[in-house]
Amino acid sequence: MDVDYQLRAAQLAADKGVGHYLLVSSSGADVESRSAYLKMKGDLDQAVLQLPFERISIFRPSLLLGEREELRIGEKLGGWLLPLLCTLPGLRRYRPIHGEQVAAKMVAVSAQPGSGVETFALDQLFSD
C-alpha cells in the first residue's frame, strides 16, 4: 500500500508535466534488502526513477521525528532509544531526524537549479 499511493502520486505528477519530483525514501532503501520496509522503499525508488521527470531528488532519512496525529509506539520508543544507540560506532547513519529538517532541505533543493537524479543521504539532510 505504501508503494501504491506514493507511486500513484508520482505518476499523476508526471502525467501533469511536473519537471522536478522530490521523493522521501528511507536510509537503507534497497530492492535487495531482507527488510520488507527497506525493500518496499527501494522498489518505490526504482519505480519513480522510471517516470519521465527531468529531475528527481530522493531524500533518504532514517526515523522521522515529530508530532503525529496517531500514537505510534515503535516510533516513539525509537525516538528515545536511537539517539543513544547511534552514539555507538557504525550506527550514526541511523540516527533519527526531525521531519522539519527534511522538509527544509527539500525546500532548499527545490529552489536550486538542477537536472537528472540526485540522492541525499541522511548526513546531507541535517542543517548546515
Residues marked as catalytic? 37, 41
Report angle CA 49, 18, 40 to the nearest 5 degrees: 30
Rounded Cα–Cα distance for residues 81 and 85 (Å): 6
Q: How far is CA 108 from the centre of its chain?
A: 15
- AA letter at 26: S
What is the end-to-end Cα distance of the chain in Å, rounded? 34
Q: By C-alpha distance, which of 95, 59, 90 is closest to 79?
A: 95
> Which among 24, 26, 27 has a CA at the least distance from the CA of 107?
24
